[in-house]
Amino acid sequence: MDEFIKVAKKSEIAEGQMKEYRISGKTVAIANIAGEFLAFDGICTHAHCALAGGYLDGYTLTCYCHGAQFDIKSGSVLAPPAPEPVSVYEVKLDDSDILLKI
């Protein structure tokens, strides 16, 4: 889809935190990294654990299930066992809202 969809309010996601949302049949996680919002697939490509339940260190997300690491800016895998990167989504901020292009 080519349009941005309003998904969340900035105030819902504290700095250093992630939250999971269901949009257009997809599970998407949004992270707040020092006021920068990043959106990516919310399901780990290894064994389908919820990435919003993992741990953030800057842009590095560690899956809580088996320790795979992703760069949430690019979606790329930084550490196994995740076999594939996650998709990342374009984010637009509008006043207090977070919009995504899904």
Give the nearest distance from C-beta 36 to ligand FES in angstroms.
23
Comparison of 5 and 50: residue with beta carbon closer to ligand FES: 50
Comparison of 82 and 99: residue with beta carbon closer to ligand FES: 82
Give the nearest distance from C-beta 62 to ligand FES in angstroms.
8
Tally of helices (H runs) and strands (E runs) in the chain? 0, 10
Distance CA 14, CA 81 (A): 29
Q: What is the phi/psi pair of residue 97, to 5°?
A: -100, 155
Comparison of 6 and 66: residue with beta carbon closer to ligand FES: 66
Residue 43 near residue 50, CB atoms below 8 Å:
yes
Task: Specify which residues 70 forms β-bridges with.
Answer: 61, 77
Residue 68 near residue 81, CB atoms below 8 Å:
yes
Give the nearest distance from C-beta 38 to ligand FES in angstroms.
18
Sites of contact with ligand FES (CB under 6 A) = 44, 46-47, 49, 63, 65-68, 81-82
Give the nearest distance from C-beta 84 to ligand FES in angstroms.
11
- Cα-Cα end-to-end distance for the chain: 6
Comparison of 14 and 47: residue with beta carbon closer to ligand FES: 47
